[in-house]
Amino acid sequence: MRRFEGQVVVVTGAGRGIGRATAERFGAEGAQLALVSDQAEDLAQASEAMLAQGFELLAIQADISDPAQVERAVERTMERFGRIDVLVNNAGIAWEEPFLDIADANWQRIISVNLNGMFYMAQRVSRHMAKQRSGCILNMASTNGLVGEEKYAHYNASKGGVVLLTKTMALELGRYGIRVNAVCPGYIQTPMSEAIDDPEFVAAYAKDKIPLGRVGKTKDVAGVFAFLASEDAAFMTGECLVVDGGQLSS
C-alpha cells in the first residue's frame, strides 16, 4: 500500500525503537520523512538504513525539550518539504525510581521531554497545519497514563498529561481540519525497555499479565500509528487507543 504518497511525516525519537519502526512504516507507504532525534549515532544509523530503502528523508538532530531547537526543526522541515501532513510525537524517556527517592532534576527531565516536548512539537507543527486547514497529530501516550505503576510516578504523570493534552488539542484544532489522537502502548520491547528489564522478568511478565502471552513489538505500535494517520481513521479524533495485548482488560 502507498497510503501516504506525497505526504510529509515528522517522527520524533526516530533513531530507534518505536520511532524508527514507525518512520520505516510510513516510508514504506510512500511518505517523505523528517526524522528527529537528539541521539546523533542512532539518527545516523536509522537515516542510512532508510535511505538504502529508497526513502526520501531529512534527518534533524534536536532535543524536543528545548523550544528553540523545536522551532528550528520545524523550520527546516518546512524549508525542505513545504508542508507537514502528519506529526508522530513519539520521543520519550523513562526509568525506574521509587516515589520517595525521585530527585527534583529527574522529575523535571522526564516532564520536560515527555510532556513539555510533546507540547512544543505539537504547537509549532499545528500552526502550519492550521494554515493548510489539514493535518494529523499522533501523540505517544502509554497505558501508564491510564493506570498507575510503582516506581514510575514521573513517567506516569507525564503520560497522563499527554492523554488530556491530546483530548484538549482535538477539541481546539478540529475546526482547522486537524485530527489529534494518541496511542497508549503497554509493554513493548524496545531498547529503552531492554535497558530496564532483564529477559527473565520480561518472560514472566508476558506470561502472568498479558492475555496474548507476549510483549509487544515495535511494529505493533507502528501499524496503529499508520492506521490513525490514514483515511480509514478520518472520523477519529481525541481518541487514545490502547495497544497492550489485552493487559488492561481485567
CA angle 157, 39, 108 (to 5 degrees): 25
CA distance 201 to 32: 39
Query: What residues contact 244, with CB distance under 8 A and at least 6 apart?
Result: 143, 184, 185, 186, 187, 210, 216
Q: In the structure grid, which three cell numbers stand for residue 86, read together?
A: 502528519
Instruction: Name residue, grid cell 505526504.
Output: 7
Provide the residue type at 31 as one letter. Answer: A
Query: What CATH homologous superfamily does 8-189+217-242 map to?
Result: NAD(P)-binding Rossmann-like Domain (3.40.50.720)
Task: Tell me whether strands 135-140 and 32-37 are parallel, antiparallel or unpaired.
Answer: unpaired
CA distance 45 to 51: 10
Cβ–Cβ < 8 Å for 243, 186: yes
Is position 205 annotated as part of the catalytic site?
A: no
Dihedral-angle region of residue 17 (phi above 0 means left; psi in -120 to 50 means alpha; beta otherwise): left
How much is the pTM?
Answer: 0.96
What are the b/e assignments for 60-72, b being 16+ CB within 10 Å? bbbbbbbeebbee
Q: Provide the pLDDT for residue 143.
A: 98
Q: Provide the pLDDT for residue 26.
A: 98
Catalytic residue among 120, 152, 155, 187: 155
CA distance 198 to 33: 33
Q: Provide the pLDDT for residue 223.
A: 98
Question: What DSSP state is assigned to residue 115?
Answer: I
Hey, where are the domains in the chain? 8-189+217-242
Q: In the structure grid, which three cell numbers stand for residue 5, read together?
A: 504518497
Dihedral, 8, 13, 15, 17 alpha carbons, nearest 10: -110
* Phi and psi, residue 103, nearest 5°: -80, 150
Burial of 121 (0-12, 13-18, 19+ CB in 10 A): buried
Task: With CA atoms as reference, report the closest residue to 243 among 138, 136, 158, 150.
Answer: 138
Mean pLDDT by 10 residues, the chain (250 residues): 95 97 98 98 98 98 98 98 98 96 98 98 98 98 97 98 98 98 96 84 93 96 98 98 95
Query: What residues contact 133, with CB distance under 8 A and at least 6 apart?
Result: 176, 177
